[in-house]
Structure 1
């Protein structure tokens, strides 16, 4: 066994038999051919936010050196290497007045996130990142480097976009960018004692907003640590995050109902707090500051996470789910509800394997693992899942952190069957993890 490269997710050890630090796509091809000739499991590793799949005793290919980003401002596209982060893509696109459909964390690998679908901070307006892919460079289990487009190997092109990592090692891709330089965004942070009112108000608000508004609701109990602002230490908070590409005046009008929750608190109608609003950072910003909307942790740490893709959840059941993960939970848990719909529900001109397009929301759970028992975390997540069960459609491939032993629910049955057929064709020995839906 060898040591794995530096990784963002530190909660689960990675013990490959061989580690290949790829400097070129040819290094990737040679590593895959080596592993395939010996029947060894193969996995790729970029930033390490997620886990690479079953690779103990196998070959782990580190792609972090393949981090080139080239923007074509005329075609509004970017060619992205397998090791590039979303932050690098944002930085390269910004001088041209363009932006990628990136997620909330700038340190996440852009290619790996896109293969899982790619739920971005502007997702309701522009859809999934996977649907913007124009071509992919991939090495399949037979050691062949392929350029995959809708015209060349259309079925593989379908499966790679939304199917994840079980069809080969993607060394780079070309993706369309959007013409966004600035946005109106930020968060309104409420005292957690108002969680029920905020959850109900948020769900009602999402029924009124246009597709140009992408938002999420998140709650957690902050640890009592000296490096945190004093007003947050040990405190339960719930926040609404908003990203909107329209002008500031329209943005202010759209978020007014959210701020009205705070106005009700200021009037003294809620005995737990004089005002539920702890902070309000909504403002116009350059797209290069869009990561401040969610302010995801920038440092490596240990965590476990899972998700539930939802149709239209009942408001009271959603409140109960937030309560289960709140201050009375046996461990610190971040619960986040992403509003879906809009362009995410559209069927792209070139279909992809991205699932659950009719979903209304995505619930995400994440728990730090500093001395926390994974079994206890799973038990809590099971309770949350049972509460929301009437609305649950499945799970999200991009938001399963540490649950690599459970792949069921990532795609609808027909999509899983079609992806399994692709695995049988391109990786019959299951070197990249085997069939879907196991």
Structure 2
């Protein structure tokens, strides 16, 4: 792949504008390959230039340099969530803009752009508070929040993006703004759900919640019981309290030596969830499941919210992955039949690692949909599909299975998508489905105001109006 090269004079001039310690990495440098790597190892990108910012002023100067050179800008804090490769772009690393300040009285946290949720979670729990992180604390705060952010406290406290008080963001003209309900309110609206389309976030302030102990975990059942387990799940969540966020999962564990014996090479139907009310009520809530059928594995229990990662056990180390998703309009038997047909292996190894249906609604749906760019709050059931794809052949095979599964579920699809569950070209192709028609049109007008030349076009596909 052809990569733009810069003269020694251009790079020297750029370095004078950056703070000491801010790294500028070019394709000829020894650490270029490491710096361009994403968390998803299926991503193979070749930036024209990589800058590892040390301060917000480095972000400002980097964006101004990109404007002078007519480069697009792709920002990354932790390497997650690549939508459009940073080929021929300026890849701006914000991982060194990390840090957390907790205000226990105000129940807020200021978070630097390069911070992972695990850092926020640890600091907040020491103050008896909890952030609205997702299933993995290893993910960066900013990218997750810009796309919405639906985690295990979602039905009780809403989306991560709903709990933002303000963003600190550098726009395409190199201006460092604060976007809140009172300042640059239009930008504040767009950043909450619109992704990284309008600038590079250098920090944000979020609200925290009084959660220290939850009742959470997994119940594993034989995959042959998936139909009956799904029917119970559908009935069980029909009148579930908002304190419960739950999911139904079909999981195929790989036959790797590091996988525990009880799971290795086997498939399961799994109930997983998190109840943030009194523990004894959580125990009572699980009683119908334990009375229906004794699980093969039962690890539901009271736990410190600091250990919430144990519910999903998402991988931490980088892997080559393919992920997709959709909102479901309802749950019925045809859905579980389709999932079993396309997710559970019948002949040979499985194409997908898992599929998961997560129950939404509650506090997510209670927010006025006009207050944020995030859309489809009325949707109640989110479907995610994930595959590990170490080779081009496995990538193509998994993509085929996902397409076939989506086709089989077409009568049951809501029509919208949760964009945080999409990556790569699919995320760009389906961006309009991530928003209501009104929100998407408003986002395009906002794009025309803040980024008319699409400098930040490596996020969701929102062309300027």
Q: Which TM class, normalised by the smaller chain length?
A: over 0.9
2:385 is aligned with 1:354: no
Residue of structure 2 equivalent to 1:416: 440
2:213 is aligned with 1:191: no
Residue number among 339, 346, 350 corresponding to 1:321 in the alignment: 339
Q: Distance in 1 between matches of 2:309 and 2:437?
A: 35
2:254 is aligned with 1:254: no
2:139 is aligned with 1:119: no
- SS state at 2:434 partner: coil
Distance 1:124 1:322, change over 3 A: farther
Q: CA deviation at 1:50?
A: 1.3
Q: Distance in 2 between matches of 1:204 and 1:349?
A: 27
Residue number among 348, 360, 363 corresponding to 1:343 in the alignment: 363
Q: Distance in 1 between matches of 2:169 and 2:290?
A: 47
Q: Which moved more, 1:317-326 or 1:355-364?
A: 317-326
* Mapping 1:225-236, distance limit 5 Å: 225-236=256-267
* 1:136-184 deviation line (CA, Å, top 9, x unaligned): 0001111111111111111110000111111111111000000111111
Q: Distance in 1 between matches of 2:47 and 2:427?
A: 16
Residue of structure 1 equivalent to 2:207: 176
2:94 is aligned with 1:73: no
* Mapping 1:17-166, distance limit 5 Å: 17-51=48-82, 53-166=84-197
- SS state at 2:397 partner: helix
Q: CA deviation at 1:17?
A: 0.4
Gaps of 5+ in 2: 4-26
- SS state at 1:305 partner: strand
Paired residues of 2:147 and 2:195 also in contact (CA < 8 A): yes
- SS state at 2:339 partner: helix
Paired residues of 1:20 and 1:31 also in contact (CA < 8 A): yes
Q: Distance in 2 between matches of 1:405 and 1:346?
A: 28
Residue number among 400, 403, 407 corresponding to 2:422 in the alignment: 400
- SS state at 2:50 partner: strand
Paired residues of 1:203 and 1:315 also in contact (CA < 8 A): no
Residue of structure 2 equivalent to 1:305: 323
Paired residues of 1:312 and 1:391 also in contact (CA < 8 A): yes
Paired residues of 1:318 and 1:388 also in contact (CA < 8 A): no
2:457 is aligned with 1:433: yes
Q: Distance in 2 between matches of 1:168 and 1:200?
A: 45
* 1:319-370 deviation line (CA, Å, top 9, x unaligned): 3224311113751331011100111101259811111000011000010011
- SS state at 1:36 partner: helix
Q: CA deviation at 1:244?
A: 0.8
* 1:353-401 deviation line (CA, Å, top 9, x unaligned): 1110000110000100112443332221122112222332211111113
- SS state at 1:409 partner: helix
Q: CA deviation at 1:405?
A: 4.2
Q: CA deviation at 1:118?
A: 0.7
Q: Distance in 2 between matches of 1:349 and 1:366?
A: 28
Please give the TM-score of this superposition, normalised by the length of structure 2: 0.88
Paired residues of 2:81 and 2:143 also in contact (CA < 8 A): no
Residue of structure 2 equivalent to 1:377: 398
* 1:79-136 deviation line (CA, Å, top 9, x unaligned): 0111100100001101110000000101000111011001011100001110110010
Q: Distance in 2 between matches of 1:202 and 1:313?
A: 10
Residue number among 249, 272, 286 corresponding to 2:304 in the alignment: 286
Q: Distance in 1 between matches of 2:207 and 2:369?
A: 14
* 1:19-78 deviation line (CA, Å, top 9, x unaligned): 010110111111111112222111111111211534211101001111111101110000
* 1:253-272 deviation line (CA, Å, top 9, x unaligned): 11112223314xxxxxxxxx
- SS state at 1:162 partner: coil
Paired residues of 1:313 and 1:388 also in contact (CA < 8 A): no
Paired residues of 1:419 and 1:436 also in contact (CA < 8 A): no
2:234 is aligned with 1:203: yes
Residue of structure 1 equivalent to 2:353: 333
Report the number of matched residues.
Answer: 425
Q: Which moved more, 1:321-330 or 1:356-365?
A: 321-330
